[in-house]
Amino acid sequence: MAKTYDYLFKLLLIGDSGVGKTCILFRFSEDAFNTTFISTIGIDFKIRTIDLDGKKIKLQIWDTAGQERFRTITTAYYRGAMGIMLVYDITNEKSFENIKNWIRNIEENASADVEKMLLGNKCELEEKRQVSKERGEQLAIEYGIKFIETSAKASIRVEEAFYTLARDIKAKMEKKLVSKLYTPRGGHQLKASELQKKPTSWLSRCTIL
Amino acid sequence: MEDCVEDCEEIFSQDGVLLKQAPASHITFVNTIGTLYLSESLNSNKKRFIEWKPNDITVDSDIQDQEWAVVNTIQKRTRTLSGNYPADYQNRIKCIKFNFEEIKSFRVANKSRQISFYDGKADCLCIFGFQHGNSDTLLAILKRMLRISVSKRDKHLYIVYDANFPEFQQLDKSFAELNIQRDSRTLWSVFRNLKDHPYEATFEAFAKVTDYVYRSPEQRDIDDVDKENLNRSISEYENTTTHSQGDYEVVAKVPERKDFPRLRPLSVEQWKGHLNSEGKIEDVESVKTLIFRGGVTPCLRSEVWKFLLDYFPWSSTEADRQKLLATKSDEYYNMKLQWKRMTKVQEDNFSDYRERKSLIEKDVNRTDRTLDFYAGDNNANLQTLNDILMTYIMYNFDLGYVQGMSDLLSPILMLLESEVDSFWCFVGFMNKVIRNFDIDQAGMKDQLSNLHTLLAFVNPQLANYLDTHDSGNMFFCFRWLLVWFKRELSQEDVMRFWEVLWTGYPCENFHLLVCVAILETEKQNIIQNNFGFTEILKHINDLNGKLDMAVMLNKAEGIFYQIKESDHLSDNVRLILGMPLLQTQTSYGSHEQSPFEDSTELSNSTQPCCSVDNVRISPDEVAYERSINSSFL
Ligand SMILES: Nc1nc2c(ncn2[C@@H]2O[C@H](COP(=O)(O)OP(=O)(O)OP(=O)(O)O)[C@@H](O)[C@H]2O)c(=O)[nH]1
Ligand SMILES: [Mg+2]
């Protein structure tokens, strides 16, 4: 009676309206692209289970509405997110400039040690490009996060983006588990909430090692 | 106890379950953590089992979020067994497994974090402690699979009925004869649902059974006490709702819900009959009532909607309307020219405008593209949709464009086809829902909060459940409210739904009662499956395309009259529905807690708790309870 998964990760897609968050998610969960899509009102999520180094990882990916006005509602769902994809549209300068606002938004509403990743979407539209790849890379370096250019439409590097984020979360989590294992007080149970809500406590325990 | 070799299908599993008490054969595993399984045999006998296995890997899920789990890979100390044992001995000895038929009763304790199973023979089969979460889900499943009833002496003790018990065979037979429900599981759900769905069809089924109980000649005599019980229980279920407030219960009378069948839509003849020689509507109230009851017949819509959306005044004559059309057309094109004439430089220097323009463009491309009317590239109707929304920016600078507005315009344009008429009708609709688009979303928050208040009044159990499952903010209804169910219904249904709501009958904020009606319909699903924050959202989002608009309206109207006729109707409910307030200041609920206030403290303290842990139940007692309950039924 095998469990259907070993880990469950909650991920979040954020970014301006129209950058392609829903399409990215649809590409990843359904491997399809649909031009007749509708804008997202409120929030929804999709599930896909992936294999990573012999572990089954269930990804619960939340898709939010991009318009600024709905942020008071959508940020309520940031809680508990372990990874966040920040998405902009390479053909839309404004969506790139707004990434810094989204980062601030994360700082205010998500847990401090959430894994982040920057995605420049619609990268197949080279002729309409407004944001160079270098600028994307530069911004990612500034924030110390990874960066990938994707296309939901042409199915470019969408899989890679989610696998990368999932792998980073897994690595981070396992590191914490190990540090926990060698602490005198560490029983055989580890509360997810401890990991998430008290990042300082595991850090301080790490120093015992 | 049986061994583990049989092939089983897992129905449910719960990790982090501590074995607290076990038969002597398994005493070494007491105080070990493992996984509890509920499984069904793949053999034809379809036997069901409760099974527990000690874990080598323990999976821990966050108690609060239940959204992700961490696997701890620390190995358990392996217990070495010496001597010659069969190959599968290790597995067999490790696992505890018992057949459903062995369970005669079970008891939940310690705030649902412990469950004890009894075999009816003086001893208990096992006691399990839940390290994470609680036994609620397991309990819900057991309730579905077993015929049980709550002991009258101890509300945490569940008595399992024996299929071979004579009274039960009889009852089953009676159901079969009445052709109500053949399968025993559904039969039992009928009884269980009774408590939560007193007004629904289940009640009818129960009534039939009581008929049978009384009339069937071969039925053995029921003594008077039981008859009394039977009658009392029916009348109790008939017209009371129970407001659970911690350890004591307040029973408030809510009148019986009435049925309001939908009528035929307003017909051309009816409409013509209401117009006088000047084309003025004589009896506005009666027209609105007809529309509220049945909507408008499709060919009449393009005319009637202009009234409903305040483009044409209800008191206007045909001549007035002709004049109005001319001026409104000028006004529209004047505004349209304003943005059409914007130069490139002007646009470059006006970032707000640019942003709005690009938002509209993106949304127009994503509005109802699956409908023929808006399908395909370079569709002229998309251009019209775009132009109307752009002109609306000029009409209402303060608001501009907010996502959701294209959804509200789409059915109007599709119906009227005329750009000018659609614009003004859209303006009328926007005036009704303008607060949905407040910059700080205050209007939406108010509505969600009002929805919670109404739900708490109509169905306190469900409101309480949502509060204690992180969903008291009602955010999962956001989409329903923002665009008035546009995303949940087909275009035809949404047109009918909107025209009914536009009448403003039978009260203010009737759409919130529609939400209450749907939530109430989904209550069983939500509570019995023990849905949390995540599952509730998913469940509600997935209702899209599955809602029956006529049933919703019917039920919502029933709820309205039920509220209206309640004698404990408080001012906060009156205010939401636009009813006259009470003169006196003695409202019932002193402080309705807003879902935006932190409710965790409150809900925790009101959780009923039970600390009596080790209650021994003698087999006689169980048998006694069983017989009482079966004859009671
Ligand atoms: N060319 C191209 N178009 C894309 C791509 N991804 C999305 N789009 C288009 O961009 C538009 C917006 O995509 P969505 O996925 O709906 O955008 P979103 O970020 O979810 O927007 P909101 O739900 O409003 O926040 C749609 O018209 C898509 O067809 C892409 O990789 N390439
Ligand atoms: Mg979207």
Over the stretch B520-550, which tens digit does the pLDDT of each residue have?
A: 999 999 999 999 989 999 999 999 999 999 9
Put simply, the answer to whether B475 touches A60 (Cβ < 8 Å) is no
φ and ψ at B435, to 5 degrees?
-70, -15
Assign 3-state DSSP to chain A and report helix, strand, coil percentages, each to 5: 40, 25, 35
Percent of chain B with pLDDT over 70: 70
Which helix or strand (DSSP H or E) is residue B13 part of?
strand B8-21
Task: Work out the minimum CA distance from B375 to partner chain A, whole angstroms.
Answer: 8
Task: Report whether pLDDT(B191) > 60.
Answer: no
Q: Residue A58: its pLDDT value, please?
A: 96
Give B82's contacts (C-beta < 8 A, 6+ positions apart).
Answer: none
Alpha-carbon distance B98 to B632, whole Å?
30
Put simply, the answer to whether B65 touches A7 (Cβ < 8 Å) is no
Please state, as a whole number, how many other Cβ atoms lie within 10 Å of the Cβ of residue B439: 12
* In contact, B143 and B73? CB cutoff 8 Å: no
Token pair in block for residue B212: 């049978």
* In contact, B476 and B536? CB cutoff 8 Å: yes
* In contact, B330 and B424? CB cutoff 8 Å: no
Confidence of residue B255 (pLDDT cuts 50, 70, 90): confident
Put simply, the answer to whether B475 touches A73 (Cβ < 8 Å) is yes
Over the stretch B345-356, which tens digit does the pLDDT of each residue have?
A: 999 999 999 999
Which of B270, B373, B292, B281 has the alpha carbon at shortest distance from B318? B281
Alpha-carbon distance B341 to B394, whole Å?
12
Task: Report whether pLDDT(B619) > 70.
Answer: no
Q: Which residue has the higher pLDDT, B137 or B399?
A: B399
Task: Report whether pLDDT(A3) > 80.
Answer: no
Residue A73, chain B, CB below 8 Å: the answer is yes
Alpha-carbon distance B430 to B422, whole Å?
12
Hey, which of B355, B364, B365, B483 would you mutate to test ligand 1's pocket, going by the most ligand atoms within 8 Å of its Cβ?
B365
Distance from chain centroid for Cα A167: 11
Over the stretch A111-155, which tens digit does the pLDDT of each residue have?
A: 888 999 999 999 999 999 999 999 999 999 999 999 999 999 999
Over the stretch B36-64, which tens digit does the pLDDT of each residue have?
A: 888 888 777 778 888 888 876 433 333 33
Pocket residues for ligand 1 (CB within 6 Å)?
A: A 17-23, 35, 37, 39-40, 65-66, 121-122, 124-125, 151-153; B 365-366
Alpha-carbon distance A44 to B535, whole Å?
11
* In contact, A85 and A11? CB cutoff 8 Å: yes
Over the stretch B305-337, which tens digit does the pLDDT of each residue have?
A: 999 999 999 999 999 999 999 999 999 999 999
Hey, which of A19, A22, A23, A89 would you mutate to test ligand 1's pocket, going by the most ligand atoms within 8 Å of its Cβ?
A23
Q: Residue B163: its pLDDT value, please?
A: 55
CA atoms B251, B256, B260, B261: torsion sign = positive
Torsion-angle region of residue B13: left (phi > 0), alpha (psi -120 to 50) or beta? beta
Q: Which residue has the higher pLDDT, A17 or A192?
A: A17
Which of B113, B102, B152 has the alpha carbon at shortest distance from B2? B102
- Tell me how many residue pairs between chain A and chain B have CB atoms under 8 A apart: 133
Give B629's contacts (C-beta < 8 A, 6+ positions apart).
Answer: B149, B152, B159, B161
Give the burial class of B373: count Cβ atoms within 10 A of its Cβ; 0-12 exposed, 13-18 middle, 19 or more buried.
middle
Alpha-carbon distance B300 to B315, whole Å?
18
**3-class DSSP state for residue B158?**
strand
Percent of chain B with pLDDT over 90: 48
Contacts with B62 from chain A: Cβ below 8 Å: 80, 191-193, 196
Strands B114-118 and B105-109: antiparallel
b/e map B211-229, b = 16+ CB within 10 Å: ebbeeeeeeeeeeeeeeee
Ligand nearest to the CA of B362: 1
Task: Report whether pLDDT(B375) > 90.
Answer: yes
Q: Residue B610: its pLDDT value, please?
A: 37
Alpha-carbon distance B423 to B388, whole Å?
6
Q: Which of A17, A44, A173 sits opposite B362 (nearest CB)?
A: A17
Tokens 């403003």, residue located? B504
Least confident of B119-123, B289-293, B397-401: B119-123
Put simply, the answer to whether A80 touches B65 (Cβ < 8 Å) is yes
* In contact, B612 and B109? CB cutoff 8 Å: yes
Percent of chain A with pLDDT over 70: 85
Task: Report whether pLDDT(B510) > 80.
Answer: yes
Residue A171, chain B, CB below 8 Å: the answer is no
Task: Report whether pLDDT(B82) > 80.
Answer: no
Q: Which residue has the higher pLDDT, B573 or B11?
A: B573
Assign 3-state DSSP to chain B and report helix, strand, coil percentages, each to 5: 50, 15, 35
Alpha-carbon distance B343 to B365, whole Å?
24
Q: Which residue has the higher pLDDT, B176 or A102?
A: A102
Confidence of residue B162 (pLDDT cuts 50, 70, 90): low
Residue A185, chain B, CB below 8 Å: the answer is no
Q: Among A10, A46, A185, A191, pick the best mutation site for testing chain B contact (most B Cβ within 10 A).
A: A191
Q: Which residue has the higher pLDDT, B621 or A27?
A: A27
Percent of chain A with pLDDT over 90: 67
Which of A53, A51, A80 has the alpha carbon at shortest distance from A171? A53
Task: Report whether pLDDT(B5) > 80.
Answer: no
